[in-house]
Chain A
Amino acid sequence: QVQLVESGGGVVQPGRSLRLSCAASGFTLSNYAMHWVRQALGKGLEWVAVISFDGRNKYYADSVKGRFTISRDTSKNTMYLEMNSLRAEDTAVYYCARVYYYESSPDAFDIWGQGTMVTVS
């Protein structure tokens, strides 16, 4: 069964760090580009970061650039989001999502995890 499971969320003080994990099952992470998307409580979706299928290219939203780092461990079939210098406005549910490949652009996201809550307070 194709599945993504996030973990690592919790309550953290402003300025501290947290690392989120996204474990993939039923498919090989290194065959897909992967994204992180977050959603503040009662708010809309906000794109956070992307890592290319080969891990070479990484891009970030301006709101997290310089503070967050996306990475992956192919041996563990797991993606990560290292979050440093956390702010209150980073409080949200964080989802990892797999890219759905089709003949055009931009990336669509076909598989989502259940989300992990990060509270900065």
Chain B
Amino acid sequence: QSVLTQPPSVSGAPGQRVTISCTGSSSDIGAGYDVHWYQQLPGTAPKLLIYGNSNRPSGVPDRFSGSKSGTSASLAITGLQAEDEANYYCQSYDSRLRGWVFGVGTKLTVL
């Protein structure tokens, strides 16, 4: 069961900017644990998009950015492209559950 809350869907036109929120609690994001973001294209494995709240692994375009504040985090995508259409998941750690936790996922539709 997901303990990190994400909107089920977001959408935007090509070239626009969208943000995806990830809301946790005092036992996960609010406890100081970092947030990571993954992109999952249909039928494929997840891909690490952002680690440590705001860092991009090599090869990830700078159109993708992340931030964290308090018990929440956000993923921003600028200059939307058709290939960005995917599911996006946030991930952190929950000290109460003593395990790694994911958000329920957000489906991004490029109009």
Which residues of A are in contact with B by a Cβ distance under 8 Å? 35, 44-47, 50, 59-62, 95, 100, 102-110, 112-115
Contact = CB atoms under 8 A, between A and B. Distances in A.
A60 B97 CA distance: 10
Interface residues of B, number: 28
Contacts of A95: 45-46
Interface in B54-111: 55, 57, 89, 91-93, 97-105
Contacts of A108: 34, 36, 48, 51-52, 91
A61 B34 CA distance: 19
Contacts of B33: 105-106
Interface of B: 1-2, 33-34, 36, 38, 44-48, 51-52, 55, 57, 89, 91-93, 97-105
Contacts of B93: 105-107
A102 B52 contact: yes
23 contacts: A35-B100, A44-B103, A45-B38, A45-B46, A47-B100, A47-B101, A50-B100, A59-B99, A60-B99, A95-B46, A100-B57, A102-B51, A105-B33, A105-B93, A106-B34, A106-B92, A107-B93, A108-B36, A108-B91, A110-B48, A112-B46, A112-B47, A114-B44
